[in-house]
Structure 1
Amino acid sequence: MPKYLQRTLGWIMLAVALPAAALNGFDLSQSLVDKGAIEFAGQPPDGIPALDTPQFVEAKAAQHISPDDHVLGLTVFGESKAYPTKILAWHEIVNDFIGGVPVVISYCPLCRTAVAFIAEADGVPLTFGVSGLLYNSNLLLYDRETESLWSQLYWRAIAGPMAGTRLRRIPVTQMRWQEWLRKRPNSLVLSDDTGFQRAYDSDPYEDYDKSQGLLFSVTRTSDRYRNKDKVLGVWLNGRAKAYPFPELRAAGVEMLVDGVAGKEILIHFDPTTESARAYAANGVELPATVSYWFAWYAFYPGTAVYEAP
């Protein structure tokens, strides 16, 4: 049996037995999305354990990461940290501080999406865990302070006392370790000394990534691109635009100038390292999101789509 399916065993009957207004112990009575589209992912809350006391090593001393390993890279107030996706695939959430700021780094292996937020609402710090629920096959986080559910790709709470609240997103880059190290040689990197016994050198989603099939339902689909073609998704001034990697490859340029919601933006794409980033015209990085096409479209069906000339 593929490793990614093993996570779903043991909890299905529990999900069926829960009342309609609650799922996996979370109150959905005031959900901002269709409750029927929120799915049980096969684990109880925190069945996939978030990292609450992450340990780091200096880049030059890191022995647990290879040059071609993918990382999530963040820089806040001059401090840079890298989080290997081979570790995040087993934990999905890291509660951390970067540059003295509380942050939550989230990674959804089903959508290959990485989103980082400043973990504060109205000046109150929040800590997050994995709810064991999905919406549009995408991670739903929950905060331990109010037990509200937060959608990773809607970038806001969708159920519970904080429903409708948004957290400030911060740019997070997905790229290979060697490239991040070249850009941020003084970066710290998340240690594999997590306190948990996990096979960090194996990818539990390897079979899933190689197929075009989905494990969970989505509310909308599009065959314009393959389900698991990657896109860079940009949300600006209430408008969504997708930059599919096949189109960026076809464009054949490292940096292209484009527009979203009447604003000029710059898209940087490196086909060798499979990394893409978005910048405002003044050079400030935007909190864009690399995603599988199926996931971006499910959340933003009205998205504009860049096409190579």
Structure 2
Amino acid sequence: MQRLIQIMVALLLVNTPALAEPDIWKQEWPTTNFSKTSIKSWTEILSGGPPKDGIPAINTPKFQSDVKEGRLEANEPVLTVAIAGQRERAYPIRYLIWHEIVNDTIDGAPIAVTFCPLCNSGVTFDRQTDHGVLTFGVSGKLRNSDMVMFDRETQSWWQQATGEAIVGNLTGTELKMLPSWMESWSQFRERNSGTGLVMKQPATSRAYGRNPYQGYDTSARPFLYNGEMPPHGISPVARVVRVGNKAWPVSRVRDEGGVDEAGIKISWEAGQASALDTDIIAKGRDVGTIRVRDDQGRDVAHDVMFAFAFHAFWPEGSWMIGR
């Protein structure tokens, strides 16, 4: 009997927090509809440490001409957004690594530029939805080590890697992913040479230029991740190019001098530092720049993320590992 009681107590300790979590979260999220969700178990969502808005999103970014930028080193990564007819904009990862979301508007088009350091996922979304224009913040929660965003209009929670609402009234809604890519500052600057815009340093006090996740992209196991490791012997923190539900290892693209298959062309060019390697971002090892285009040379929406995150969110996805 004593053994049975011990087992029952253990089960209670394991299961009660999961069942009680929405009640606990309601203190911080009083208007979020927790009765509507697409996730299977609340245990999938963990606290990353900071509270709601503890990592402050940027809502009014300021820009300057690329020729006036003097802080960035040549090999530092930036996330580039190019909208037809508009000047290209560079969002330095040295800022995104501390803020994770930039709510911006380009010629009337509302966008969200997002970066989850724990998944190396840099994705740009259209903020215009059937439910109106949404403004995103950082919830402080993680799912499969990926940032859970929230919108300020309905307080619904969104998965950054997929752009899908997973908790709240907008559950099931998917954001449109826009073409953007990570490249080195020198690659952006040389291509634009006075025609591009770069986000200015935010007014908040942060150690911009430093990496708070030193050595993360060579770690043996991702932070707060208990899911399956990727197949084919691929390191969990190996970078892969995700297009839809397909993933190409960046190492394959690099070693083969580019890939042309499944209706897209993927190229690799040296010169971009890893933001998740050394303490100083600009001293990170060279991981190269990926570009993805279709047969007509148009940029294709994609993400260069860690392999474990692709496997977690696209468990039935295709691994394009070649022969």
Q: TM-score range by the shorter chain?
A: 0.7 to 0.9
Partner residue of 1:257? 260
Partner residue of 1:285? 299
Tell whether the 8 Å contact from 1:32 to 1:159 is kept in structure 2 after alignment.
Answer: yes
TM superposition outliers: structure 1 runs of 4+ over 6 Å: none
Segment of structure 1 superposing worse, 219-228 or 64-73: 219-228
Q: Any idea what the Cα deviations from partners look like across 1:49-73, whole Å, max 9, x if unmatched?
A: 0011111111000011111111000
Tell whether the 8 Å contact from 1:242 to 1:305 is kept in structure 2 after alignment.
Answer: yes
**Aligned: 1:38 with 2:45:** yes
Tell whether the 8 Å contact from 1:111 to 1:291 is kept in structure 2 after alignment.
Answer: yes
Tell whether the 8 Å contact from 1:175 to 1:275 is kept in structure 2 after alignment.
Answer: yes
Q: 1:131 to 1:58 in 2, by over 3 A?
A: same
RMSD: 1.9
Tell whether the 8 Å contact from 2:33 to 2:169 is kept in structure 1 after alignment.
Answer: no
Distance in 2 (CA, whole Å) between partners of 1:243 and 1:100 is 34
1:196 CA drift (Å): 0.6
SS in 2 for 1:295: helix
Partner residue of 1:187? 196
| Structure 1 alignment gaps of length 5 or more | 1-15
Query: Equivalent pairs: percent with the same residue?
Result: 31
Aligned residues: 283
Q: How does 1:237-252 map to 2 (within 5 A)?
A: 240-251=245-256
Q: How does 1:32-181 map to 2 (within 5 A)?
A: 32-34=38-40, 35-77=42-84, 78-122=86-130, 124-181=132-189
Segment of structure 1 superposing worse, 288-297 or 209-218: 209-218
AA aligned opposite 1:30: K
Distance in 2 (CA, whole Å) between partners of 1:17 and 1:303 is 29
Distance in 2 (CA, whole Å) between partners of 1:59 and 1:98 is 17
Distance in 2 (CA, whole Å) between partners of 1:109 and 1:244 is 18
SS in 1 for 2:88: strand
Q: What TM-score comes out, normalization by structure 1 length?
A: 0.86
Q: Any idea what the Cα deviations from partners look like across 1:217-242, whole Å, max 9, x if unmatched?
A: 2433225211111110010xxxx111
Distance in 2 (CA, whole Å) between partners of 1:213 and 1:283 is 37
Q: 1:18 to 1:40 in 2, by over 3 A?
A: farther
Partner residue of 2:268? 269
1:155 CA drift (Å): 1.8
Partner residue of 1:6? none
Distance in 1 (CA, whole Å) between partners of 2:269 and 2:106 is 26
1:295 CA drift (Å): 0.9
**Aligned: 1:234 with 2:243:** yes
Distance in 1 (CA, whole Å) between partners of 2:70 and 2:305 is 29
AA aligned opposite 1:108: C
Give the number of the structure whose alpha-carbon radius of gyration is greater.
Answer: 2
Distance in 2 (CA, whole Å) between partners of 1:123 and 1:91 is 25
| Structure 2 alignment gaps of length 5 or more | 1-16, 273-287
SS in 1 for 2:20: coil
Q: What TM-score comes out, normalization by structure 2 length?
A: 0.82
**Aligned residue among 191, 204, 211 for 2:212:** 204
The structure carrying a bigger strand percent of its residues is: 1
Tell whether the 8 Å contact from 1:80 to 1:98 is kept in structure 2 after alignment.
Answer: no
Tell whether the 8 Å contact from 2:150 to 2:158 is kept in structure 1 after alignment.
Answer: yes
